[in-house]
Amino acid sequence: MMFKLLKAKNLLQFSIRRLGLFFFICNSNMFLGQEKLNLTADTIKQSNWSQKNVNIQEVQVTGKLSDANIKSGSTGIFIDVKQLRQLPKFAGESDPYKALQYMGGVSQSGEANSGLYVRGGNNDQNLILLNGTMIQNPTHVLGMFSVFNPDLIGQMRFVKSGMPAEYGGRLSSIVDISTLNNIPQKIDVKGSLGIISSRLSVQIPISSKFAVYASWRGSYLSTTVLPLLSSFGLDSTLTQNKYEFWDTNAGFIYSLSSKTRLTGHFYVGKDDFKIGEFRDLSLKGNSTSWKNTTFALQLNHVFNEKWSMNHQLNYSRFQIKTSLNWFSSNQNIESQLKNLNYKTEFFHVVNNKHNLKFGTELTYNDAMPNYISSDSILPNEINTKHNLIHSAQLTVYGRDEWTTGKWQFNIGMRANIYAHIGPYTDFEDNNDLTYDNNRIIKTYSGVEPRFFSRYSINSNSSIKAAVSRHIQYLNQIPIFSVGIPMDLQIPSSLYVKPQGSWHFSSGYFLNLDQNKWVMSTEVYYKNLENQLEFNNGKVGTFSNGMYEKNLLSGKGWTYGLELKLSKNYGKFTGWISYNLAWNYRQFDQINNGIAFLARQDRRHDISVIGMYELNKRWHLSTVFVYATGSRLNLPLSWFIIDNKYVLEYGKYNAFEMPPYHRLDFSVNYKLKPWFGIESEIDFSIYNLYNRSNPFQVFFNPGAQKIMMNYLLPIIPSISWNFKF
């Protein structure tokens, strides 16, 4: 029997079908056993075989090409989830999504923030997908966890340059995560019990063609570790704060036939963050909570060896609510975004060196930028007039990828039209203008050409270059002045133009010592169009009902150098990544029109990751990160006139926060199986040397000085992970 080996960018996959297949048994070495064979090159092996016809379940074998760094194309890199699970665990969880901050080209986001700032872009400029469904905020507990349950992650793709045409709607990167989609042969249960959080997941095969799965996670950081730390005198105020989350997943896998598969996935998760007190500052009454809800339905069909089809129906909803204690009164702010998307695409394999992909997307968005309510009268009047912003978008795309000799090319195009539709009211001082239901108020359109090329110098090195155009219609704009997380969802509309970007990148990639060492050097330049900032901060947030009129539009540009060195084989593995970057913005109404450093500008950013397999039972890992401080705008001086503070500022974002650095450490010990239960003990320490990284730097009128908030001290955790 001959198996057909399909090579795909970063994966090595083959399937053994159930009916009519031959299972080979080696007379001398493999009688109903297994033989390991490392596939590092084209290999032919002959031995004495006997033939036996056996019915077996469908098997999927996945491996990583050892030269993926050299041969990977414009589809980005498929993250080695298994390797990332060996990184230091926080509360017993290995979080592959959070580990993207260490991969190169991604700036450290700062304390209690797992946002991705890719090549100078904002956090909202990343398209985060879970089974094809958009995740608007992928963080739990201010970034200490992500919304992705590590027990369910099957495949993870990260694209930061050369974005293929099937992805769009964001300027900076794509993170495409899919859950496990194979039908298990038996009930599979995984979980973790820890002093900070616990989780449980289960996969149940109903039949050979149908399976269901579910999971749950929850944290109790505020009732376990933080009081313990306070009892040791590290910070007695920490117990006044609350950081908790929970989430749940559920789904099914249904093989309608050998060529057709239907899958469904549901996710809901919520965070609660309540601030009681920081060092030297009382913020009682302030809190924020956010919630993600998603649903995905996918139908995959393979017509033949050359043609396949995929349909997706996705729904997501993101809500964020913030309560502020301002001027001795409670102010409640709400924002939300609903997204409904249908996508259909076709994939055609011309031959083993040439393939095509094309499709279309239809999207409907329903956003509430902001809603304010108050229990008292503020010093400035609250304007209760506000709008929901409804929009629809139609996109068609196609791309052609082929390899000829030492060259690989990927040329694609996206074309889209976006419409802001009614109902909507344009509030004016003298006369309001009202638009009826489904009336087209404003349209935007654009094309997004994509180009990627790779030249293989030899079997150990290659050069890659990419040029791509991107358009973004959905915006998530933070209000930095309120002091706790708060983002407003403001899509493109009558008064808000879409963001745009041209991205240029090139790199040299080298593998050494039979692919045991991997090196890369990349340079990039990116321009940013229609970047958005609030005009007058907190006061405007409370008093202006049409937030889309209270935005400033500017431009930006960012460029930099990325270096990475990895060791992939042996007992000791890991990597070092270094980013050197510049990030600028320019607004006519800010800083007298002079360009200034962007808030997320970090000149130097370095990550050092080490993993050591002491033996089959003991595994050690550590992560050290360092980044120069981000930029912020603080007053140079202040004075009081008529009992009101007047602040004087210098150059915009002239202040640099203290450097951010942190060391995490983890020890993993695998226990002997017990009654069929495989388990391990994880002990980890977050922020090993108790670095006080600022959570916020701000001017405090009461104390009449610049102050800093520190959120996370050293946090030890221990957990028991199990599987049966």
| CA atoms lying within 13 Å on the CB side of residue 563 | 7
Quote the pLDDT of residue 86: 74
The beta strand positions in 195-259, using DSSP E, are 197-205, 210-219, 242-255
Q: Above 90 in pLDDT, residue 220?
A: no
Please state the rounded mean pLDDT for residues 130-153.
85
Q: Please state whether beta strands 11-16 and 59-64 pair in parallel, antiparallel, or not at all (unpaired).
A: antiparallel
Please state the rounded mean pLDDT for residues 703-708.
73
396 CB-contact burial (10 Å; exposed 0-12 / middle 13-18 / buried 19+): middle
CB contact burial 137-147 (16+ within 10 A = b; e otherwise): bbbbbbbbbbb
Domain ranges in the chain with CATH number 2.40.170.20: 68-723
Quote the pLDDT of residue 297: 97
Q: Above 70 in pLDDT, residue 454?
A: yes
pLDDT in tens, 478-504: 765 444 556 788 899 999 999 999 999
Q: Above 70 in pLDDT, residue 636?
A: yes
Of the listed ranges 254-258, 290-294, 369-373, 716-720, the least confidently predicted one is 369-373
Which of these, 124, 146, 9, 21, lies nearest to 65 by C-alpha position? 9
Q: Above 70 in pLDDT, residue 75?
A: no
Q: Above 50 in pLDDT, residue 699?
A: yes
Quote the pLDDT of residue 694: 80
Question: What mean pLDDT, rounded, does the chain reach?
Answer: 81
Q: Above 50 in pLDDT, residue 23?
A: no
pLDDT in tens, 523-578: 999 999 999 887 755 445 555 567 788 888 999 999 999 999 999 888 999 999 99
CA 689, 690, 693, 698: dihedral to nearest 10 degrees? -150
Q: How confident is the model at residue 46 (pLDDT cuts 50, 70, 90)?
A: very low
Q: Above 90 in pLDDT, residue 456?
A: yes
pTM: 0.83
Q: How confident is the model at residue 368 (pLDDT cuts 50, 70, 90)?
A: confident
Which residue's entry shows tokens 């960012």?
A: 558
What's the rounded Cα separation, in Å, for the pair 152 and 131?
A: 11
What's the rounded Cα separation, in Å, for the pair 398 and 348?
A: 11
Q: How confident is the model at residue 58 (pLDDT cuts 50, 70, 90)?
A: very low
What's the rounded Cα separation, in Å, for the pair 132 and 179?
A: 10
Q: Above 80 in pLDDT, residue 377?
A: no
Please state the rounded mean pLDDT for residues 89-110.
77
Quote the pLDDT of residue 59: 43
Q: Please state whether beta strands 117-118 and 106-107 pair in parallel, antiparallel, or not at all (unpaired).
A: antiparallel
Q: Is domain 68-723 classified as CATH 2.40.170.20?
A: yes
Q: Above 70 in pLDDT, residue 35?
A: no
Quote the pLDDT of residue 490: 87
Quote the pLDDT of residue 382: 54
Tokens of 583: 């990030």
